[in-house]
Structure 1
């Protein structure tokens, strides 16, 4: 009887130890699963023409440059060893490479636009994989964020717009020093103005100061670009209205960051 009781106690103890081991292994697996997070992908597209300027419209002879960051979902650190690809709506897949570009490190691949590239919207997604982590990036489904392929004829149409009729341009006060302040998500001058008047054929100094967020400036149609805070000088030769847009993707309100430069005789 004592021997039987001893055997039962031994079996019970072994069962408890086995369950404890199983629970320990289960706990380890749960802990491991909790440390695996999705990869976070951010990015934009730029054109090679005139420097790396944020763009969504491309024509034959240009290259669409995809730029992306891939971050660990747990640590928020860059993942330099991930497999990153751009998936185009044409069915093509582009392998991205990681390296230093300017002052930053990120993933890049260039897609040449040729005469044979169909015009219209070019859809794309970016995927990344690293060990058990995965992530996907899709552009916002709004016009400024969608890639559009245009023909040479459309691309060559000047981006100059008709001169605004809201002000008497013969008497308007001009200032060849244009100060732009960038905030999420707005461009304005020191006094809140969003339209800047300058004289044609005279040098203009345009400056940018970002008080909130990271921004850049592109004056469409004049080849005037700033990819960070600073200043640039240029001389506009013709009158007209020119859109000022943010050239650095800065978030969901990126497309709202606009102002106008009006060049008068």
Structure 2
């Protein structure tokens, strides 16, 4: 009877150790899988347009790839990671980590790589993906297969056609529909105060008069931001800065954040409405 009792105890202990070992092995595997990941996010901008979000590029421009490589456990940048951009042309670009804009206090840090578009660059879709490695960790980024995310190489006429004319038409139509409402929204002396937070400007539209000097003051109340109005060749690359210019043609001009400020960067858009 005693031997049988010891046999049952030994069998129960063996089963317990076996099940525990399997459970630990499964949990360890899951942990290692999570620990091996690098989360990559990013976008592409036009250097010629003042670091404005873009997907269509013409000869003479540079495609600037901007990426974050995040440790999913800490939520922080993995500064020791090696990032590369792989192009459908077969070229591989090494990305460089640094702060942007350089020399600005509390500027955002991320990886960048620039690709010059020349007259010899094949026209049409330019596919790419980004890889990241840091020790045993790896990650990969591929853009969505939809038009706004796909890079297109076009000729200069295709790159610039339609935007300003469409904007002027929209502004004229808006004035006809709203009567004098645009005049009521004009800020005195064409002074525009823009406040930027993560991730929005304080207004959707800012109204100014054509033919008069405009002063834009930017204040970054949360995060590090900038301003770019590509069709007017206007930009502020400092988180708190001022720019002066004189718009001559009525129209609606898109205003975007020119500093990569995080995951909501692409949503930071507003409109500068120039009225007669």
Aligned-partner Cα distance in 2 for 1:195–1:238: 16
- Give the aligned partner of residue 243 of structure 2: 233
Gaps of at least 5 residues in structure 1 are none
Aligned length: 251
Following superposition, the deviation at residue 36 of structure 1 comes to 4.7
Q: Hey, what does 1:60 align to over in structure 2?
A: 59
Over the residues paired in the alignment, what is the CA RMSD in angstroms?
3.9
Q: How does 1:31-110 map to 2 (within 5 A)?
A: 31=28, 34-37=31-34, 38-49=37-48, 51-101=50-100, 102=102, 103-110=107-114
TM-score normalized with structure 1 length: 0.73
Contact persistence 1:140–1:146 (CA under 8 A): yes
Q: CA deviation at 1:126?
A: 1.1
Identify the residue that residue 257 of structure 2 maps to in structure 1.
246
The answer to whether structure 1 residue 139 and structure 2 residue 138 are counterparts is no
Q: Shift of residue 96 of structure 1?
A: 2.1
| CA shift in 2, pair 1:231/1:204, >3 Å | farther
Residue deviations 1:123-162, cap 9 Å, x none? 2221112233221223344544332222123345584232
- Are 1:116 and 2:141 an aligned pair? no
Give the 3 Å change call, closer, same or farther, for CA 260–124 of structure 1 in structure 2.
same
Do the aligned partners of 1:96 and 1:107 also contact (CA within 8 Å) in 2?
A: yes
Say if 2:67 and 2:112, in contact at 8 Å, map to a contact too.
yes
Q: Deviations over 1:64-103 (max 9, x none)?
A: 1212121222222322333322122334332323344423
Evaluate the alpha carbon distance shift between residue 188 and residue 73 of structure 1 in structure 2; reply closer, same or farther with a 3 A threshold.
Answer: closer
Rg larger in structure: 1
Q: Which one of the candidate residues 125, 131, 139 is aligned to 2:129?
A: 125
Alignment of 1:213-224 (within 5 A): 215-224=225-234
Q: Which residue in 2 is equivalent to 1:198?
A: 209
List runs of 5+ in structure 2 lacking aligned partners. Answer: none
Matching residue of 2:269? 257
- Secondary structure of the corresponding residue to residue 221 of structure 1: helix
Which structure has more helix as a fraction of its residues? 2
1:160 is paired with a residue of what secondary structure?
helix
TM-score, normalization by structure 2: 0.70
